[in-house]
Structure 1
Amino acid sequence: MDSGALNDLDHRLLEALQLDGRAPFSHLARQLDLSERTVARRYQRLRGLGLRIVGQPDPARLGLVRWLLRLHCTPDAAGTIAEALARRPDTSWVTLASGGTELYCAVNTRTADERNALLLQKLPRTPHVLSVSAHCMMRIFVGATSTWHATRFRPATPAALAVDSGTPRTPLALDDTDRTLFTELARHGRATLPELSKATGRSPSSVQRHLDRLRTEGALHLSVDFDPQLLGYHMSTQLWLNVAPAHLRTVGETLATHPAIAFAAAITGTSNLVASGVFRSPADLYDYIDRQIGPLPGIQSIETAPTLREVKRLAPALP
């Protein structure tokens, strides 16, 4: 199915869900000036096309450190290695790029032992892995994941995008109810209060209090996942930028306002800023680099790596 099958109402509904993935149909109906029945019918149609609302934990808010791994593998093994990484509960997304020999993977670790077990033991001993570079995400400017939020016009800082303020905060303590909510919302972010009440063994009012706390404290975000190709965007690309330190914050915060950019973070390594973008075509990508990236101050180099396949997406490592 192509983007022409989606009309203006579908786009508006996606935009509204991006602002609040758990908004009741009655609220969405008032916002869109439609009947509740029409909104529900359109929502179910979009779900049939692959729409997912996914509850995701914020790694930093829960005391986790996020790493971006960049692996070069032999062509015959990259897919198998990507699939193995996707099965790990501590990975949140895995993509294949650059002719199928390079893959990217986001990993959340709580302790140095967890980090070292993967980076110093598991991966170096994996056959057909030619090189591994690990980049600590120092600050995430936009996007809890590298998945594009499928709307035509993306607000600069919707709740789902989890922009990092850069201010250190004490990790939020979780109880059994919180952990169960994370598990259930990772499956379906719009699970009803009765469904969550049954899963947790708590009353609906207690569940609502836990949800309000997790969202207010920035520990839980609702992400909207929809295939960009259905909206006419056929080119996903990883951008690796080397930015002069004096301009790193400015460039990162500027990228966070660009609708094409799903994810941008300051990282350790030779390239100190990485971003994921979604574009309609190679010409669209060229125009973006020429007109929006090029004029930014302090950019010393840029490397582009088109995504060939998303092996794992919006599958958060649960706390």
Structure 2
Amino acid sequence: MESGLLDDLDRCLAHALQLDGRASFSTIAAVLGVSDQTVARRYRKLRSSGVLRVVGVPEAAPLGQVHWLVRLRCVPDAAGAIAAALARRPDTQWVSLMSGGTEIVCFIRAPLREEADGLLLGHLPRTPRVVSMTAYRLLRRFAGGPAGWSGRSSALSAAQVAALRPVLSVASYVPEPGDVELLTALAQDGRADMSTLSAASGRSGSTVRRRLSALRGSGALYFDVEVDAALLGYPLTATLWLTVAPSALESTGRALAKHPQVAFAAATTGPANMVANVGCRDDAALYEYLAEDLGGLTGVQRVETAPMIRTLKRFGTLQP
């Protein structure tokens, strides 16, 4: 990574792990055409240096939860401390500070049926330092989640993708004791070995294997790859708040999902009815994306662009 970017093999490894976060090194090596030792060595180097991490991500709907995107505006110099407090909450999945230093954006997983003054709004910071707060409920995700981000998932050929994509038995999720602890352990390390997962969940190795299969097959768990977008050539990241004509929501969401700059896109409730996270090379590339790619979508009526300056929490775990 002398150039500050991931090389071709690292990108292929990241794409392979996006497809199946628990694929064996031998399986990945066979598809990539390199030795097991090479894949294991690359992964351990990337993992130990904090460049890449595989995480198990609980999916809200099968677990009886919903995602909320909360936008807080704070008085100057207060956002850092408030963002740190939000990041320590167990129900926040993503916490970012935005440019200007007075705004925070965070994802929260909350129970589907919530009391009016419950977890989501009642327990968020109530302080004069929070000037305003807006909550957006996610209605439909078009990009991100189990599908990953094409910005890091375009290194492998179609044949390699087919060889690595896991075959999962589809079933409905039925909770069992130990699932919460298992999901918590996988959020820390999606490739944790069976002995670690058994100890964390208090279940036998065979039970853990069965629960892993059930969680993945029901869609209650998927694996994602955490890697700095700058190492993929996208050092400038931003959140876009879009106002889209209701009749164009579906077509706009599908179009955004095809843009390589878009890491996440979803239709929401609230003042803006669609949100997207994008990654670009620099200011010129962001301008080009806004003016041409996004500007070419006729259903988009209004765009507010908010660059990110720091992410304190990703995928439910605090950043070092």
- TM (norm. structure 1) is 0.87
State the match for 2:305 in structure 1.
304
* Shift of residue 48, structure 1, vs aligned partner: 2.7
The match for 2:36 is 36
* Aligned match of 2:13: 13
| Contact 1:241/1:302, CA 8 A, preserved across alignment | yes
Cα pair distance change 1:184/1:82, threshold 3 Å = same
**Would the alpha carbon gap of residues 5 and 270 (structure 1) be closer, same or farther in structure 2, given more than 3 Å must change?**
closer
Residue 3 of structure 1 contacts residue 230 of structure 1 at CA under 8 Å; is this kept in 2?
A: no
Task: Please identify, of 106-115 and 254-263, the stretch whose mean Cα deviation from structure 2 is larger.
Answer: 106-115
Instruction: Give the distance between the partners of 1:175 and 1:316, measured in 2 at CA.
Output: 23
State how far apart, in whole Å, the 1-side matches of 2:197 and 2:190 are: 10
- 2:271 maps to 1:270: yes
Q: Deviations along 1:203-238, whole A, 9 cap, x unmatched?
A: 433322211111111000101001112233210100
The aligned counterpart of 1:182 is: 183
Aligned CA distance change for structure 1 residues 229 and 298 (closer, same or farther; 3 Å): same
- Mapped contact 1:2–1:231 kept (Cα < 8 A): no
Cα offsets for 1:33-70 (capped at 9, x unmatched): 01101110111111133111110100111111211111
Q: Is the 8 A contact 1:242 1:271 kept in 2?
A: yes
Q: Counterpart of 1:270 in 2: which secondary structure? A: coil
Indicate yes or no: 2:237 matched with 1:236: yes
How far residue 178 of structure 1 moved from its aligned partner, in angstroms, is 2.0
Match of 1:17, SS state, is helix
Q: 1:94 to 1:21 in 2, by over 3 A?
A: same
The offset of 1:261, in angstroms, is 1.3
| Deviation of 1:171 (Å) | 7.8
Change (3 A) 1:152 1:191: closer
What is residue 260 of structure 1 aligned with on the other side? Answer: 261
SS in 2 for 1:116: coil
| 1:214 lines up with 2:212 in the alignment | no
- Structure 1: unaligned runs, 5 residues or longer: 159-169
Aligned to 1:58: 59
Letter in 2 for 1:99: G
Residues 71 and 104 in structure 1, CA contact (< 8 A), matched pair in contact too: yes
Contact 1:3 1:232 in 2 (8 A): no
- Distance between the aligned counterparts of 1:273 and 1:111, measured in 2? 20
What is aligned with 1:24?
A: 24
Is the CA contact (8 Å cut-off) linking 1:148 and 1:277 kept in structure 2?
no
- When the two structures are aligned, how many residues end up with a matched partner? 304
1:99 aligns to what SS in structure 2?
coil
Cα distance, 1:195 vs structure 2? 2.9
Specify the code of the residue in structure 2 equivalent to 1:245: P
Whole-angstrom CA distance in 2 between matches of 1:258 and 1:127: 40
Q: Report the more deviating stretch, 216-225 or 288-297.
A: 288-297
Q: Would the aligned equivalents of 1:66 and 1:109 in 2 still touch at CA under 8 Å? A: yes
- Contact 2:82–2:125, Cα closer than 8 Å, also in 1: no
**Partners of 2:288 and 2:190 in 1: CA distance:** 35
Give the conservation status (yes or no) of the 8 Å contact 1:67–1:135. yes
CA contact (8 A) 1:3 1:229 kept: no
Give the corresponding residue for 1:246.
247
- Which has the larger displacement, 1-10 or 82-91? 1-10
Residue identity in the other structure for 1:301: R
| Residues 237 and 154 (structure 1), Cα distance of their counterparts in 2 relative to 1, 3 Å cut | farther
**Separation (CA, whole Å) in 1 of partners of 2:36 and 2:67:** 40
Distance in 1 separating the partners of 2:204 and 2:104: 44
Shift of 1:151: 1.6
CA contact (8 A) 2:55 2:186 kept: yes
Which secondary structure state, in structure 1, belongs to the residue aligned with residue 190 of structure 2?
Answer: coil
- Specify whether residues 2 and 108 from structure 1 end up closer, same or farther in structure 2 by C-alpha distance, changes over 3 A only: farther
Q: CA deviation at 1:280?
A: 1.1
Give distance in 1, aligned partners of 2:251 and 2:220: 25
Write the distance in 2 (CA, Å) between the matches of 1:206 and 1:115: 38
Amino acid at match of 1:294: G
- Residue pair 2:151, 2:260 contacting (<8 A) in 1 also: no
Which segment is superposed worse, 17-26 or 123-132?
Answer: 123-132
Equivalent pair of 1:18/1:149 in contact (CA under 8 Å): no
CA offset at residue 283 of structure 1?
1.1
Aligned partner of 1:165 in structure 2 is none
Q: Does 1:294 align with 2:287?
A: no
SS in 1 for 2:258: coil
**Aligned-pair distance for 1:103?**
0.9
Q: Percent identity?
A: 50
TM-aligned CA distance change 1:129 to 1:8, over 3 Å: same
Q: Which segments of 5 or more consecutive residues in structure 2 lack a partner in the other structure?
A: 162-170
Is the contact made by 2:143 and 2:257 (CA closer than 8 Å) also made in structure 1? yes
